[in-house]
Amino acid sequence: MAEPAGNPLLRAWQLSYLDPEASLALARGLCSEPGVDLAEARLLVALGEVRVSPLPQAAQALAAAHELLAAAAEPAVRERGLALCGELQAVLLRRQGDADGSARLQARLDLSGPADGRGPVAREPMHRFLAHTSRAITSKMLGQVDVSLRHLHAAWDAAQQTGWPGPYITACTNLGGRHHDLYNLEDARTYSLKALAAAGEAGAKMAQRVAACNLIGIHHALGELAEAEALGHTLESLLRDAPAATVEDMTPPMALAWMAGGQHERAEALMRSVQQALPREPAGEWALAWGWQMARCRLAQGDAAGAYGTALAVLQASLAAGGAPAGYDLMALQRVLCDAAEATGNAPQALAHLREAHGLYEQLVGRSARARYVALDITHQLEQARHERDVAVDGRRSVEDDRRRLIELNAALQAQMAETERLHAQLREQALHDPLTSLHNRRYLFEAGPGLLERARRQGAPLCVVLLDLDHFKLLNDTCGHAAGDLVLQRFGQLLKDTLRKSDVVCRHGGEEFVAVMPDLGADEAQAVITRLLESFTSLQLALGRRRLPRGSFSAGIALFPNHGSTLEQLLSRADRALYAAKNQGRSRIEQAPRTGFATLE
């Protein structure tokens, strides 16, 4: 990788987030060079040591830089240097495990910053980038999701102002990874692609590897399997000269790429080669990813019992180590446990794991919508701040020109606010719809359902809740692929919309399970409608390319208000029992819940 041009100290700054080891080596050499600003060189050494060296060595380097900068004669140099030392001290505290102490120090630095109305870290771009990045990591450790996102976006804005590739690549990688954590896959893909392109242009191989790993996971989660497999070949070439520890860390993404291409034996061999690393952090994302990917490989090769045992062992090890936070890998682990349990004929276990997976999915969808909204809000704020800076720089214009500019800015602000409101409404609508079938999702069901029940109660009218589950859907996925499964789900969703009334609320409950809330219908009337739906679906012949897919069927359970329950949860529970009765009686049938005194329970 070629070093950027300029004086040696500037080169060290430019390399600090592009090639930290090269920056540290250059800064160390400059400490003994005549005519070099020793305090600045020591500050650069401290920056490198605090980020990559053992804690005692890092603390010693920071103390040496602080001593020199405290003695600087020029006030501006002293203020800037000591402020940066404070930022590095906060990083050191965080590395020592004291996130609260790091946050307190950063708050004090914010209060002592320049009072120019630009916030806590309104200094030169590199200082702002470093400070915002540090605050983002600290707030993430403290569970402050929105705060972390806002600092990451501010760091990205500052990184662009530096004009240097290192901060820009780091900021894009951080944003892509954080949005991926929050299941905001569209923004995660956007920033990760930017990171990969910029890292390739700068020749930053490690950053390319990280971006490729992130993108493989993002593409796979989005169902973009060809893209995930293609990035596997890119990552394979980037890892040829990598240290063994790096290869081990990046083996699960590599295996995921081969899984996306259907190369399950190759993926399993890769995963087995790093199995000895599992005990190091059993509750970490690496172990969970290893578990669900290995189980998927075994399931794809027909070993359902082995797949279940593998995934369950990883889950139990995670729980014994304190448990993993709710996230995509934990959801994927529960999903493969469900599929493996179903394949072995253990329906109760499959249902339990399916419910765990659905609960995690709901959490991820909520995070995704919130992350997207915060990102849009931050973009608006940054644009507004740039407008204000423009006005301040242009403050010497005539009064008439200023008045005209103010009108223009106000109009632009109003337009931006309207656009933000429109996007907010759009995001809410997206959060209540299933992207594959365009039906409402489980969240909408629990928002709209209680109101329909209250209306039925006031009017003394009947209401049916119907739970529908596609028969043998996992077998279809395993034999024909996920693209076939997606096609069946989409066509079934369209059949639901075509067959049921506009007044019925139809939702995808999760996976291959759907719910219909049918006001003003008795159980027999609802059964007649669902019977017509079943006849239409069983006669439907679908094809994927030139391949004809097997005809499908579904099983359904019907619960009637108020006979079977007085709340949506009770009605769903009774419909669920009726559904499983239909399954147990051979599938492709509709069962009504028997009437009991259940509705009198409170």
Secondary structure of 514-555 in HEC code, one letter for each residue = EEEEEECCCHHHHHHHHHHHHHHHHCCCCEECCEECCCCCEE
Over residues 314-324, the mean pLDDT reads 91
Token pair 């060189």 is found at: 41
Is 465 domain-assigned?
yes
Helices (H) and strands (E) in the chain, counts: 25, 8
The pLDDT of residue 382 = 58
Q: What percent of the chain has pLDDT over 70?
A: 86
Q: Is residue 354 situated within a structural domain?
A: no
Rounded distance between C-alpha atoms, residue 240 and residue 250, angstroms: 12
602 has a pLDDT exceeding 70 = no
CA distance 99 to 148: 13
Q: Give the pLDDT mean for 411-428.
A: 59
Which DSSP helix (H) or strand (E) runs through 513? Answer: strand 513-519
pLDDT at 118: 42
Cβ partners under 8 Å of residue 359, min gap 6: none
Sheet holding 440-441, edge to edge: 440-441, 505-510, 513-519, 463-470, 554-561, 590-592
From residue 194, give the alpha-carbon distance in Å to each of 29, 309, 491.
33, 39, 35
Q: Domain span at residue 82?
A: 1-163
Residue 428 maps to a domain: no
Separation between Cα atoms, residue 228 and residue 219, nearest integer Å: 5
**Which pLDDT belongs to residue 2?**
39
Mean pLDDT, the chain, whole residue set? 86
Flag whether pLDDT at 337 surpasses 60: yes
Cβ atoms within 10 Å, residue 111: 8
Q: What pLDDT band is residue 1 in, cutting at 50, 70 and 90?
A: very low
Whether residue 359 is predicted with pLDDT greater than 80 in this model: the reply is yes
Task: Give the SS3 label for residue 469.
Answer: strand
Structure tokens at 298: 């075994």
- Residue 119: pLDDT band (50, 70, 90) is very low
Residue 351 in domain: no
pLDDT of residue 599: 38
Confidence of residue 112 (pLDDT cuts 50, 70, 90): confident
* Domain end point (choices 142, 163, 184): 163
Neighbours of 124 (CB within 10 A): 11
Angle at CA of residue 48, ends 4 and 79, nearest 5° = 90
Dihedrals φ, ψ of 466, to 5°?
A: -115, 130
Question: Is position 390 within any domain?
Answer: no
pLDDT tens-digit map of 51-76: 889 999 999 999 999 998 898 888 88
Share of the chain above pLDDT 90, in %: 59
- Expressed in angstroms, the distance from the first to the final Cα of the chain is 70
Q: Regarding predicted confidence, which is higher, 81 or 5?
A: 81
pLDDT of residue 413: 62
Query: In what helix (H) or strand (E) does residue 97 lie, and over which residues does it extend?
Result: none
The answer to whether residues 510 and 442 touch, using CB atoms and an 8 Å cutoff, is yes
Which has the minimum average pLDDT: 179-193, 245-259, 312-326, 394-408?
394-408
DSSP 417-443: HHHHHHHHHHHHHHHTB-TTT-SEEHH
What pLDDT, in 10s, does the model give residues 360-372? 888 877 766 676 6
Residue 378 — φ and ψ, nearest 5°? -65, -40
Least confident of 78-92, 297-311, 406-420, 505-519: 406-420
360 is a domain residue = no
CA 114 to each of CA 80, 118, 135, 156: distance values in angstroms, whole numbers, following the listed order: 10, 8, 18, 21
Tally Cβ neighbours within 10 Å of residue 404.
Answer: 12
What are the pLDDT digits (tens) for 139-175? 988 988 888 888 998 899 999 999 999 999 999 999 9
What is the C-alpha separation between 267 and 84, in angstroms, rounded? 45
d(CA 148, CA 140): 5
* pLDDT for the residue 448: 86
pLDDT at residue 197 is higher than 90? yes
Q: In angstroms, rounded to a whole number, what is the distance separating the alpha carbons of residues 594 and 447?
A: 27
Q: How confident is the model at residue 3, as a pLDDT?
A: 41
Asked if the structure places residue 252 within a domain, the reply is no
Per-residue pLDDT band for 385 (boundaries 50, 70, 90) equals: low
Contact of 258 with 266, CB cutoff 8 Å = yes
CA atoms in the 13 A half-sphere facing the CB of 587: 9
Neighbours of 556 (CB within 10 A): 25
Nearest to 233 by CA among 211, 202, 212, 250: 212
| Contact (CB, 8 A) for 264 and 301 | yes
Which of the given ranges, 177-181, 342-346, 596-600, has the highest pLDDT on average?
342-346
- pLDDT the model gives residue 116: 37
Q: What is the mean pLDDT of residues 436-456?
A: 89
Other Cβ atoms closer than 10 A to 33: 11
Closest among 140, 221, 238 to 187, alpha carbons compared: 221
* C-alpha–C-alpha distance, residues 480 and 382, integer Å: 47
The mean pLDDT of 74-90, rounded to a whole number, is 89
Number of domains in the chain: 2
Tell me what percent of the chain is helix, strand and coil, each rounded to the nearest 5.
70, 5, 25
Last residue of a domain, one of 119, 144, 163: 163
- Asked whether residue 362 is domain-assigned, the answer is no
Q: What is the pLDDT of residues 255-266, one digit of tens each?
A: 999 999 999 999
> What is the rounded average pLDDT of the residues 66-88?
89
Question: How much is the pLDDT for 344?
Answer: 93
Q: Which of 163, 195, 210 corresponds to the end of one domain?
A: 163
Q: Which residues pair with 560 in a beta bridge?
A: 464
Please state, in angstroms and rounded to a whole number, the distance separating the CA atoms of residues 467 and 379: 42
Average pLDDT over residues 95-104: 92
CA-CA-CA-CA torsion sign (52, 57, 60, 64): negative
pLDDT bucket at 423, cuts 50 / 70 / 90 = low
Q: Residue 525's domain is classified under what CATH number? A: 3.30.70.270
Asked if 484 and 473 count as a contact pair (C-beta separation under 8 A), the reply is no
Q: Residue 287 carries which side chain, given as an amino acid letter?
A: A
Peptide bond into 20 cis (omega under 30): no
DSSP 209-244: HHHHHHHHHHHHHTT-HHHHHHHHHHHHHHTTT--H
Which phi and psi angles does 521 have, rounded to 5°?
-125, 140
Quick one: how far is CA 108 from the chain centroid?
32
Task: Please state the rounded mean pLDDT for residues 275-303.
Answer: 92
Span 580-592, average pLDDT: 94
Examine the pLDDT at 378 and tell me if it is beyond 80.
no
